Homo-oligomer: A and B are copies of this chain.
Amino acid sequence: MTSEKILQAEKEIEIRFSEVDSMNIVWHGSYVLYLEDAREAFGKKYHLEYLYMYEKGFYAPLVDMQLHYKTPLKYRDRAKIVIKFRNTAAAKLIFDYEIYNLTTGELALTATTTQVFLDTDYQLLWSVPDFINQWKQMNGIQ
């Protein structure tokens, strides 16, 4: 029986005036940027960055994005995003996200993104690339 190691990162969100809409709440599209910030933070922490993948000869385009809005963030709210790597045997990168409103203590959003791997000829990879398996091993999740 094993307790599974979870790879996760956190990042504080600074809400920009321009990210708020005329109802004084963060525009629903702005959250896509927060998810991207979270993937950046995860990539920095665990060395799985766009450029690193690119150097290994791979692109990892997003093929699926699901956002569930729970409570609206407002301008001046402090918030943080938590990103977790979902360990899967499929040739995919799946991340789960939670955004917390630190001002109110409420859960603001949950989300999931799925990326696939393309080689430099833009051909889809059907099996997990070696460098990802190595990366998993290095991080103790395989």
Q: Which residues of A pack against B, CB within 8 Å? A: 14, 16-18, 20-25, 27-29, 32-33, 36-37, 40, 50-51, 59, 61-69, 72, 75-76
A29 touching B21, Cβ below 8 Å? no
Q: Give the copy number.
A: 4
Residues from chain B with Cβ under 8 Å of A22 in the complex: 17, 20-24, 75
**Please, how many angstroms separate the alpha-carbon atoms of A64 and B28 in the complex?**
9
A69 touching B61, Cβ below 8 Å? yes
**Please, how many angstroms separate the alpha-carbon atoms of A119 and B20 in the complex?**
20
Q: Among B32, B51, B61, which residue has its beta carbon within 8 angstroms of that of A32?
A: B32
B61 touching A33, Cβ below 8 Å? no
Residues from chain B with Cβ under 8 Å of A67 in the complex: 64-66
